[in-house]
Structure 1
């Protein structure tokens, strides 16, 4: 006789401040952040297995998400999840969408925590459940905070010495300054290195076209999310000879279908919390693989727990389609879990333990802000 299905018995929510090692992180239109506000979710079951997930928006000005909103949303959603089976991930996601319209970032840490539970129950790492580990490691990029052309060039040189080969340059400011930033950093790259000029929606269409034309002879440059809307980016893509990535506009499978149909981008940024968790991120990842669209697998931000989730999705993605990924836990000065993946020479690998393969540091998490039973 089979064992009864496990049930969710409690959802606890923790808040952790994550100061940046470099002091501040700056991107388009003068936006910046010094300390990230992370929400960590603990999902407990009646079989004694507990899972963890994390959501950390890049402040309230990057996407339609913010840290306090995540916690309020979980407080609204969590009571309806008590008694549900955490192993039935697609069914659970359908139910969450029924109980709370929209707000995918609210659902993401719950979904990831349930993947953690599934891995622990089946004694497998999430990377195996997502399709299997490709190779020994995968490539990381390093985000270069916006500054002068010379400051950004020095940052690229610093991270070249640490083994990174892909650099995401934060542009989206004054056009002449952005062109200088891109050229200064591209000039010091080796042939196998890449520069992603990420405007974070900061340019108007005519400005984006000017930048693309000015740097079109740099074969190692990609343009990322130059303008605010899907339609604007699609227009720029038609006039740009460089590869283009869609990020902020790429928030669900319906947008991905438009990108595929319109050929409006050459790759996407797949952010786990932006699409609602690993369940939906896997759907999008697999569709990209099936049509030959490259991806950057990441999230909005986070600490060890978010980085572990990213690592499992990235390491289970066929290398040909994985353009890059990220190591957010190396940017912040606070560790939230033992066993988290760490970068080595610009690369990373997913943990091998069951589930996420990490153990949260409860002394760092402190007392929960609230618990729903």
Structure 2
């Protein structure tokens, strides 16, 4: 009987520690949005046909009546990558923020339901609010977000390093340099010209050390016939093919004609497509982007379904600073190691620090803060003045 009592006592203590009943009901009193440019350390980032020297990010600050503050971020990868753009994110945030004043940020299901009532679609807009609310929930319960997402299932998060699209010899030099920094998994950007991309893949794969992992990411850039030509030309190279074509159907045709493992990314916009891909055996790895699915809440649903179905998952976002990278790290930390392929540390690509407390990067891995919430604190000088602030009247 004493053993049963002890088990019940321990279980009750755990539930008590996480129970929302223990905290006061919080209310959102103010939502502010800030625009921040994220300049690239290497001067430019190129993929498919696009090249940028910086990315336009929107930082959201959600304040509560009890003084707890949460931080979120949405950073589309330019206006032509996905159906999302930075100015649209800020317009959408301004549209929904007034309707969230007075809501409890810790009631994440209700927050997401309310955002859907206020704005149909536009998940990249809602992602920043949802992220900030998870940050508040962690602070309200005294827990790092990874504990709330399932616990610390892996101590260190495996990273991949992006090899930006350049001339073949330049890309080969870059991957050699990144390997010296301790990175072992890489995503090389292709998708602009099939003939040159074949040269790029041969050059970069030659510089790859034995045992390291390489993916050729076309970011939807090849036509179906071009992707088939590339796949045939690189048949004997140990490499992953990532989102070779624009549509799910085109990618399926390519998969049927290659032995290379397939990663699907841009076409994996929701759990419905994920289930379709699972049933069709359309991919070996799926890329989950927090911003694309609408925030941490929906990303957790997507991740949990991947784990249940046995689909290996890359966890990342479209782009971002320390805030978005922290959200990536917390979701990855709470993913079973065998089900997690790799993640991104976007804040390492920038020449400015928007927030302190971002994940620590070392030898090809990152580790999130164990502080409550996301563990980040914004730099007010980097944020500047808000684009808008909506508060209790």
Calculate the TM-score normalised by the size of structure 1. 0.97
Q: Which has the larger radius of gyration?
A: 2
1:25 to 37, 42, 45: 45
* Cα distance in 2, alignment partners of residues 182 and 325 from structure 1: 22
* Cα distance in 2, alignment partners of residues 115 and 86 from structure 1: 8
User: Counterpart of 1:206 in 2: which secondary structure?
Assistant: helix
User: Counterpart of 1:343 in 2: which secondary structure?
Assistant: strand
Cα deviation for residue 2 of structure 1 reads 6.3
* Cα distance in 2, alignment partners of residues 167 and 235 from structure 1: 25
Aligned CA distance change for structure 1 residues 3 and 223 (closer, same or farther; 3 Å): closer
User: Does residue 1:320 correspond to 2:338, yes or no?
Assistant: yes
Cα deviation for residue 229 of structure 1 reads 0.9
Partner of 2:14: none
* Cα distance in 2, alignment partners of residues 288 and 262 from structure 1: 14
Q: Is the 8 A contact 2:154 2:336 kept in 1?
A: no
Q: Is the 8 A contact 2:154 2:335 kept in 1?
A: no
User: Does residue 1:104 correspond to 2:126, yes or no?
Assistant: no
User: Does residue 1:273 correspond to 2:275, yes or no?
Assistant: no
User: Does residue 1:146 correspond to 2:165, yes or no?
Assistant: yes
Cα deviation for residue 318 of structure 1 reads 0.9
User: Does residue 1:119 correspond to 2:138, yes or no?
Assistant: yes
Q: Is the 8 A contact 1:327 1:342 kept in 2?
A: no
User: Does residue 1:372 correspond to 2:390, yes or no?
Assistant: yes
Q: Is the 8 A contact 1:107 1:276 kept in 2?
A: yes
Q: What are the residue-to-residue correspondences of 1:252-291 with 2, within 5 Å? A: 252-291=270-309
> Root-mean-square deviation (CA), in Å?
1.2
User: Counterpart of 1:37 in 2: which secondary structure?
Assistant: strand
1:70 to 63, 77, 89: 89
Cα deviation for residue 186 of structure 1 reads 1.1
User: Does residue 1:204 correspond to 2:223, yes or no?
Assistant: yes
Cα deviation for residue 3 of structure 1 reads 5.6
* Cα distance in 1, alignment partners of residues 264 and 154 from structure 2: 27
* Cα distance in 2, alignment partners of residues 95 and 287 from structure 1: 24
- Once the two structures are superposed, residues 272-316 of structure 1 have per-residue CA deviations (whole angstroms, 9 ceiling, x without a partner) of 001000000000000001111111100011111111111101111
Cα deviation for residue 369 of structure 1 reads 1.1
Partner of 1:333: 351
* Cα distance in 2, alignment partners of residues 224 and 253 from structure 1: 19
* Cα distance in 2, alignment partners of residues 280 and 240 from structure 1: 32
Q: Which contiguous aligned blocks of 4+ residues in structure 1 show a shift greater than 4 angstroms? A: 1-4
Partner of 1:240: 258
Partner of 2:28: 8
Partner of 1:54: 73
Cα deviation for residue 263 of structure 1 reads 1.2
Partner of 1:133: 152
User: Counterpart of 2:362 in 1: which secondary structure?
Assistant: coil
Cα deviation for residue 188 of structure 1 reads 2.2
Q: Is the 8 A contact 2:39 2:351 kept in 1?
A: yes
Partner of 2:198: 179
* Cα distance in 2, alignment partners of residues 2 and 205 from structure 1: 56
User: Does residue 1:293 correspond to 2:311, yes or no?
Assistant: yes
Partner of 1:360: 378
Runs (5+) with no aligned partner, structure 1:
none
* Cα distance in 2, alignment partners of residues 186 and 2 from structure 1: 55
* Cα distance in 2, alignment partners of residues 190 and 250 from structure 1: 30
- Once the two structures are superposed, residues 228-270 of structure 1 have per-residue CA deviations (whole angstroms, 9 ceiling, x without a partner) of 1111112211112111111111111111111111111111110
Which stretch shifts more, 88-97 or 108-117? 88-97
Cα deviation for residue 367 of structure 1 reads 1.4
* Cα distance in 1, alignment partners of residues 115 and 272 from structure 2: 19
- Once the two structures are superposed, residues 104-141 of structure 1 have per-residue CA deviations (whole angstroms, 9 ceiling, x without a partner) of 00000100000000000000000111111123212111
User: Counterpart of 2:360 in 1: which secondary structure?
Assistant: coil
Q: Is the 8 A contact 2:154 2:334 kept in 1?
A: no
